Amino acid sequence: MYYLAIAIYSLLVRLVAPFNKKAKKMLAGQRKTFSILREQLNPDESYIWFHAASLGEFEQGRPLMEKIKQEKPAYKILLTFFSPSGYEVRKDYPGADIVCYLPFDHYWNARKFLLLVKPVMAIFIKYEFWMNYLNQLKRLQIPTYIISAVFRPKQIFFRWYAYRYRKVLNNFKWFFVQDQSSLELLKRFNHHNVTVAGDTRFDRVYEIFEQRKDLPLIEKFVNQTESDKRIVFVAGSTWMKDEAVFIPYFNRHPEIKLIIATHEINEKRIETLTSRLSRPVVRYSQANESTVGDAGCLIIDCIGLLSSIYRYGDIAYVGGGFGKGIHNTLEAAVYGIPVLFGPRYQRFKEAEQLIACKGASTVTSEEDFSSLMDNFLSYPNLIREDGKNAKEYVTGKLGATNKIYEKLVLGTKN
């Protein structure tokens, strides 16, 4: 059944590629994989293979890649992606010696790939269980690990009808999981080679926090003087449904300054957003020191700044919670500010835990948001308390990278 599903999936990608940019990029990238490997591999070097499905998984694996690079420079890093959204953004990542797409999980692709690379170990990040690649890794006696993994009873491995597919888990030498429930579930199915290491995303977010950029234009916009202290509200990775919740409140409250970094950046999107704002607005790309200070709202119309912009906020809103799911809440929480988001957060454990520790709140409507903000404005101590809770939640979860590194590279006991 698995092999049939992979065959059908790869056929569908080829059929839609002429009409779908993402599928077209994936196929074009996969066609280049073996030529990239033949050109760039050095047969005298030892490669550790990291595989990430997309950009989010890459960010989870990044702290471990960089630690290995720093501590064990004799190893080379091969990084593969399955999704164009990961590869196209990180194809020039300097922490890896080779970056390429992973070809479809067909038997001959897997065998050809591994016989060419000959990695000394393979590391899959969070959610990647390609049966042919894992079977070949086992057959070639290449130690294989999964890091920052989460296992739930509803996953296909643990269904009564998926015994054959469940055997793919036997190919891992060790599981580094995020939580105790994952460990207990694996042990119930006789997998005892498990360590609860935590989530490497926390280490990555803290690295970004420590490397945060100074942004003079943002500082000028915030303009916090003794005579003009206003609440700075940073809304990151937002969609229109998110903005419908908080923009009306902002329009009514001149004591708040608003910074918005939308998830999608294009002229039509920015024009629509601007039309909904009734207070002075300036775009980051068009701002200068003489104009930015007088604006009530600053629209970030470029990429790569959001993780540093949160440092200037008093309260953060993270978008996506009125759609498929929220974006990265940890990027905001690490700065010690309360985090707000929409109602669709249940698949995101860190969001649930931030709510539980009173470092975050969820809002379901404009009225709900208004009530919460009124409370913050009436009782400023709540902002500080919730922010403190958010920061302590993040710092209390650090250390997963070191735990994994010590066992995986140094060979320490569980």
Mean pLDDT of the chain: 91
pTM over 0.75: yes
pLDDT for residue 224 = 58
Q: What is the pLDDT of residues 318-369, one digit of tens each?
A: 999 999 889 999 999 999 999 999 999 988 889 999 999 999 999 999 999 9
Q: What is the pLDDT of residues 163-216, one digit of tens each?
A: 778 888 999 999 999 999 999 999 999 999 999 999 999 999 999 999 988 898
Sheet holding 339-341, edge to edge: 281-283, 297-299, 256-262, 231-238, 315-318, 339-341, 360-362
Confidence of residue 1 (pLDDT cuts 50, 70, 90): low
Q: Are strands 46-52 and 121-125 parallel, antiparallel or unpaired?
A: parallel
Spatial distance between the Cα atoms of 104 and 155, rounded to a whole number of angstroms:
22
Max distance between CA atoms of the chain, in angstroms, equals 70
Spatial distance between the Cα atoms of 10 and 19, rounded to a whole number of angstroms:
15
Exposed, middle or buried by CB within 10 Å (0-12, 13-18, 19+), for 44? exposed
Domain architecture of the chain: domains with CATH = 2-198+399-408 (3.40.50.11720), 214-395 (3.40.50.2000)
> Average pLDDT for residues 140-149, to the nearest whole number?
96
75-87 burial: b if 16+ Cβ within 10 Å, else e: bbbbbbbbbbbbb
Cα–Cα nearest to 222, from 117, 308, 122: 308
Write the CB contacts of 325 (distance below 8 Å, at least 6 apart in sequence).
Answer: 344, 345, 347, 348
What is the separation, in whole angstroms, between the first and last Cα of the chain?
36
Range with lowest mean pLDDT among 82-96, 118-132, 219-233, 375-389: 219-233
Q: Tell me which H or E stretch contains 31.
A: helix 21-40
pLDDT for residue 225 = 59
- Residue 195's DSSP bridge partners are 176
User: What percent of the chain has pLDDT above 90?
Assistant: 70
- Residue 337's DSSP bridge partners are none
Q: What is the pLDDT of residues 252-269, one digit of tens each?
A: 999 999 999 999 888 899
Across the chain, how many H-helices and E-strands are there? 19, 14
> Average pLDDT for residues 38-47, to the nearest whole number?
95
DSSP 349-362: HHHHHHHHTTSEEE
Q: Rounded to the nearest 10 degrees, what angle do helices 55-71 and 400-408 cross at?
A: 60
Classified as helix, coil or strand, 333 is helix
Which two three-digit tokens encode residue 406? 């010590």
Q: Is the dihedral of CA 60, 65, 70, 71 positive or negative?
A: positive
**Contact present, 329 and 360 (Cβ < 8 Å):** yes
pLDDT for residue 414 = 46
Range with lowest mean pLDDT among 93-102, 203-212, 284-293: 284-293
Q: What is the pLDDT of residues 365-402, one digit of tens each?
A: 999 999 999 999 999 999 999 999 999 999 999 999 99
Which two three-digit tokens encode residue 343? 């109602």
Range with lowest mean pLDDT among 1-15, 19-33, 209-223: 1-15
Spatial distance between the Cα atoms of 313 and 260, rounded to a whole number of angstroms:
11
Q: What is the pLDDT of residues 210-260, one digit of tens each?
A: 998 889 899 889 875 555 678 999 999 999 999 999 999 999 999 999 999
pLDDT for residue 27 = 85
